[in-house]
Amino acid sequence: MSKIKVMSELLSNKIAAGEVVERVVSIVKELVENSVDAKASFIKIDLKEAGLREIVVTDDGIGMDKEDALLAFQRHATSKLYTDDDLFSINSLGFRGEALPSIAAVSDVVLKTCQKDVGSLVHIKGGNIIETKSSDSRIGTQITVTNMFYNTPARLKHLSSPYAELANVVEYVNKMALSYPHIKFRLTNDEKELLNTDGSGNLLKVIKSIYGLDIAKKMLEISASNDDYEVSGYISLPEVNRSSRNHMTVLVNGRVVRNQVLNKVINDAYSSFKEDTRYPIVVIKINTDPSLIDVNIHPSKQDIKFSNFDDLKNLISTSIVDTIKTKLLIPKIEVKESPSPVYENTSLTLERNIVSEPVSSEYTSRLTNLVNFNDDPSNELDSTDEDSAVKEEYIEELPNEKLPELYPIGLALGTYIICENEKGIYLIDQHAAQERINYERNYYLLGHPTGNVISPLIPIIIELPVNEFIIVKENINIIKKLNVEIEEFGSSSFRVVSHPTWFPKGREEEIIRRIIEEVKDKGSSFDLSKFNDNLAKLISCKMSVKANTRITLSAQEEIINELRKCQNPFNCPHGRPTIIHFTIYEIEKMFKRSI
């Protein structure tokens, strides 16, 4: 008797559900994408107990007739893909025909839909049709899902807490609203509204609905294109950042995608303007010919492959950097006072909101007077003026002037140089400032080797495991490009013959080992420009004066003069601010000398 048998359709649907329907957000995703493909202008998602009890997705799309409503629950039944050629030009979000049968196989589903005068109702539980009948004639579709995973208890047991499931749903719906600003999205949980967009097509308004007015004011518009791709959207000022990558939204032809390489490209573009452990808020839309991308590599359809990927990465990186460079990011100090003073416990709250300053290719950046801002929460924008105001407020074009003359008057806490001029008082972090100075010099030297080298007095021997030795030997030309000469020394070691003269004294071996380690890890994919940047940061930090170190007034003046020559005098290479400005007005306001 044959041991191999064909699975029943119900069993195969349950197995498919394991890939397509993993948690609550998986169901919401598939249903919302169907609504978008149905050309809906309004999509409402109602959850009960974070969707664990009930999910209802309602739209005003084109709807279905009774025949299509039944056929939609058959596996691989779809209206979006008919021939092999269609697979190479996918314009819809869904196309596999697996979502509805997979959902119906592990839950209780009621579908109400109408295309013309008479609606249809289909009730399916565990993959079995319970009822079909006529229903109301509201144009569009409503799908109600209950008893999720009731017949697959192992999957039900491993669902996250209601809070975690709800957070995932909110994150996904937010991204869909950003992807389709012309569609009105409304999300509720236990009748509490969590998101409500107006469907006006204005992406900045959707950003405001999700992140709030303050964040929307600090978003910069980007737009760029090449022969294959068009990139547009909004990126945050470097001061607006988060601790995770979840707020980096990438949309490809309207599809929400997850691509670690693109996220890294976006974050690397900010590397000179913020801390490495923080991530910007971005909404980047990528439009391209469907034939240049492949979304058919995972049932979730959130992973994607690109043709001419290097061109796309360069386009995104360049557009972000160029956009930030054209703006003057002014350090702000906001003073918030109590409505009425309490003399028994009087305190002034000083909130420093430090903003990174962009790189300028002509050395044309400077600190200017602070923009005074009344942070009154009732100071909302009018709906008629909101779009232009959100785009323009708090952003000024880069002025064609240098950093102003600063006169040092002392050192605070052994770390901060105190300066003054006719505009107020400045605090300069001596370590961050010198780190910026050293970084720009070292990065230039790494990219323009002069040939000035020195041989170590005491031989530097680098011993490696045999496998790593072979990799380094194969890529030894990369090390030579950095002006470091090494030669084989024994069976699995290298001897350093010479290295650049500007390597910090006493740290030569540490730096050379770092170079060899990077070459060993990256091999032929080694990026010389990126490595130069990282190495320059490492060396610059080691070379710079440390905090809590008392330096003379002449040394302070030297740091200030060198800082004024930098491309970006406002940030250390790791993104921390080098300088803060207290205007005369703000100081007098704190001391109650002005109102």
pLDDT at 296: 52
pLDDT at 269: 86
Which is more confident, 206 or 159? 206
Q: Judge whether 589 lies within some domain.
A: no
Q: Within this chain, do residues 156 and 241 fall inside the same structural domain, yes or no?
A: no
Q: Within this chain, do residues 158 and 52 fall inside the same structural domain, yes or no?
A: yes
Whether the pLDDT of residue 59 is over 90: the answer is yes
Confidence of residue 570 (pLDDT cuts 50, 70, 90): confident
Confidence of residue 182 (pLDDT cuts 50, 70, 90): very high
Of residues 92, 78, 142, 94, the one with CA closest to residue 114: 142
Any idea what the CATH number is for the domain that residue 285 is in?
3.30.230.10
Average pLDDT over residues 358-383: 34
pLDDT at 75: 65
Average pLDDT over residues 96-115: 82
SS3 76: coil
Whether the pLDDT of residue 348 is over 70: the answer is no
Q: Within this chain, do residues 13 and 146 fall inside the same structural domain, yes or no?
A: yes
Q: Judge whether 60 lies within some domain.
A: yes
Confidence of residue 349 (pLDDT cuts 50, 70, 90): very low
User: How many Cα atoms are found within 13 Å in the side-chain-facing hemisphere of 248?
Assistant: 21
Answer yes or no: are the C-beta atoms of 220 and 78 closer than 8 Å. Answer: no
Answer yes or no: are the C-beta atoms of 232 and 219 closer than 8 Å. Answer: no
Q: Within this chain, do residues 171 and 228 fall inside the same structural domain, yes or no?
A: no
Answer yes or no: are the C-beta atoms of 446 and 502 closer than 8 Å. Answer: no
pLDDT in tens, 121-131: 999 988 788 88
Rg (CA), the chain: 30
Q: Within this chain, do residues 32 and 169 fall inside the same structural domain, yes or no?
A: yes
| Boundary residue ending a domain (135, 163, 196) | 196
pLDDT at 6: 61
- Report which listed range, 170-184, 295-309, 453-467, 564-578, is most confident: 170-184
Confidence of residue 20 (pLDDT cuts 50, 70, 90): low
Give dist(CA 529, CA 547) in Å, integer: 30
What CA–CA distances, in Å, run from 529 to 238, 384, 446, 535? Answer: 22, 47, 9, 10
Give dist(CA 422, CA 369) in Å, integer: 11
Whether the pLDDT of residue 546 is over 80: the answer is yes
In the chain, pLDDT over 70 holds for what percent of residues? 75
Q: Within this chain, do residues 169 and 246 fall inside the same structural domain, yes or no?
A: no
Confidence of residue 12 (pLDDT cuts 50, 70, 90): low
Q: H-type helices in 547-583, by residue range?
A: 553-563
Average pLDDT over residues 188-197: 91
| Boundary residue ending a domain (325, 347, 382) | 325
Answer yes or no: are the C-beta atoms of 569 and 578 closer than 8 Å. Answer: yes
Question: What residue ranges in 60-191 does DSSP mark as E strands?
Answer: 108-114, 119-125, 128-135, 140-146, 184-189
Average pLDDT over residues 402-422: 86
Query: How many CB atoms lie under 10 A from the CB of residue 289?
Result: 11
Q: Within this chain, do residues 171 and 269 fall inside the same structural domain, yes or no?
A: no
Q: What pTM does this model have?
A: 0.61
Average pLDDT over residues 408-413: 88
Whether the pLDDT of residue 190 is over 60: the answer is yes
| Boundary residue ending a domain (294, 309, 325) | 325
pLDDT in tens, 310-338: 888 899 999 998 888 776 454 545 555 54
pLDDT at 376: 37
Q: Judge whether 547 lies within some domain.
A: no
Question: What residue ranges in 440-484 does DSSP mark as E strands?
Answer: 453-454, 461-463
Q: Within this chain, do residues 182 and 257 fall inside the same structural domain, yes or no?
A: no
Q: Judge whether 499 lies within some domain.
A: no
Which is more confident, 70 or 31? 31
User: Which H or E run contains 232?
Assistant: strand 229-236
pLDDT at 187: 93
Q: What is the DSSP string of 338-374?
A: -SS--GGG---EEEEE--PPPP-TTS-----PPPP--
SS3 128: strand
Query: How many CB atoms lie under 10 A from the CB of residue 308?
Result: 14
Of residues 504, 543, 497, 536, the one with CA closest to residue 518: 536
Question: What residue ranges in 41-138 does DSSP mark as E strands?
Answer: 42-48, 54-59, 108-114, 119-125, 128-135
Phi/psi at 282 (nearest 5 deg)?
Answer: -135, 150
Give the position of tokens 């386009």. Answer: 315
pLDDT in tens, 414-439: 889 999 888 888 999 999 898 888 88
Give helix 508-522 / helix 466-474 axis angle, nearest 10°.
Answer: 90
pLDDT at 232: 92
Give dist(CA 71, CA 371) in Å, integer: 62
Whether the pLDDT of residue 381 is over 60: the answer is no
What CA–CA distances, in Å, run from 448 to 363, 443, 451? Answer: 19, 9, 9
Angle at 369 between CA 368 and CA 370, to 5 degrees: 115
pLDDT at 97: 54
Domain total in the chain = 2
Beta carbons within 8 Å of 570's beta carbon, 6+ residues apart: 329, 331, 356, 357, 365, 367, 577, 578, 579
Q: Within this chain, do residues 132 and 264 fall inside the same structural domain, yes or no?
A: no
Confidence of residue 218 (pLDDT cuts 50, 70, 90): confident
Burial of residue 155 (CB within 10 Å: 0-12, 13-18, 19+) is: middle
Whether the pLDDT of residue 591 is over 60: the answer is yes
Any idea what the CATH number is for the domain that residue 45 is in?
3.30.565.10
Q: Judge whether 487 lies within some domain.
A: no
Which is more confident, 177 or 304? 177
Confidence of residue 63 (pLDDT cuts 50, 70, 90): confident
Whether the pLDDT of residue 42 is over 90: the answer is yes
Range of the structural domain that residue 244 is part of: 218-325
Q: Within this chain, do residues 165 and 31 fall inside the same structural domain, yes or no?
A: yes
pLDDT in tens, 512-539: 888 888 777 766 666 777 777 777 887 7
Angle at 91 between CA 85 and CA 96, to 5 degrees: 70
pLDDT at 41: 93
Q: Within this chain, do residues 74 and 172 fall inside the same structural domain, yes or no?
A: yes
pLDDT at 502: 74
Average pLDDT over residues 292-300: 61
Q: Judge whether 122 lies within some domain.
A: yes
CA 234 to chain centroid: 11
Which is more confident, 468 or 397? 468
CA 95 to chain centroid: 28
- Lowest-pLDDT range, 133-142, 153-162, 336-345, 573-582? 336-345
Q: Judge whether 440 lies within some domain.
A: no
Instruction: State the chain's mean pLDDT as an integer.
Output: 76
Whether the pLDDT of residue 378 is over 80: the answer is no
Of residues 278, 232, 273, 271, the one with CA closest to residue 251: 232
Of residues 205, 544, 545, 537, the one with CA closest to residue 381: 205
- Lowest-pLDDT range, 22-31, 286-295, 359-368, 519-528? 359-368
Which is more confident, 529 or 300? 529
Whether the pLDDT of residue 556 is over 60: the answer is yes
Which is more confident, 165 or 375? 165
Q: Judge whether 452 lies within some domain.
A: no
Residues linked to residue 313 through DSSP beta bridges, in sequence order: none
Q: How many residues does the chain have?
A: 595
Give the position of tokens 């309602």. Answer: 58
pLDDT in tens, 465-481: 777 788 788 888 888 88
Whether the pLDDT of residue 371 is over 70: the answer is no
Q: Within this chain, do residues 166 and 53 fall inside the same structural domain, yes or no?
A: yes
Give dist(CA 212, CA 247) in Å, integer: 14
Query: How many CB atoms lie under 10 A from the CB of residue 76?
Result: 10
Answer yes or no: are the C-beta atoms of 526 and 535 closer than 8 Å. Answer: no
pLDDT at 307: 82
Give dist(CA 39, CA 79) in Å, integer: 13
Give the position of tokens 């003057």. Answer: 328
Beta carbons within 8 Å of 274's beta carbon, 6+ residues apart: 238, 239, 241, 280, 356, 575
